[in-house]
Amino acid sequence: FILTQKIKGEERMPWIRKQVEIARSKGQEPVILANGSLIKEGVDLLEFPTICEFGQHYNINTLRQRLRRSWRLGQTRDVRIYFLYYQGTKQEDALIHIAKKLRAAHQVDGNVAAGIAAVRSD
């Protein structure tokens, strides 16, 4: 299912729950397609332990908010986050730049670099 801006912030969680219920009633695994800005606040994505990012986002705080939607209290599954990009392109350069910024943010927070922050940045 596709989450669009037509579904206002306070309506998103009930809408997502309903879509998950519909998918499960059909024996399907729910999949959500959404602009990352629509899930950065007020949404828990426990039903979606895998996130695939395909855009470049330079605001690290916003990126971190979005990536934590599946890491919530009560999550029982491994959470996996993938960043899709084309090798040898400006898109890859941007992802490396983002990884450096995220690594620095983790260091400020006292966290060990992991995930995207572990992307090579030499």
The model's pLDDT over 68-101, given as tens digits with 9 standing for 90+, comes to 888 888 888 888 888 888 999 998 998 888 888 8
Q: What backbone phi and psi angles, to 5 degrees, belong to 85?
A: -160, 165
Number of alpha carbons in the 13 Å side-chain half-sphere of residue 56: 15
State yes or no: pLDDT of 104 exceeds 60. Answer: yes
d(C-alpha 116, C-alpha 53), whole Å: 11
The whole-model pTM stands at 0.70
Please, what sign has the CA dihedral across residues 79, 85, 91, 97?
A: positive
Give the pLDDT score at 87. Answer: 92
d(C-alpha 41, C-alpha 64), whole Å: 11
Give the pLDDT score at 88. Answer: 94
Q: Are 42 and 32 in contact (CB under 8 A)?
A: no
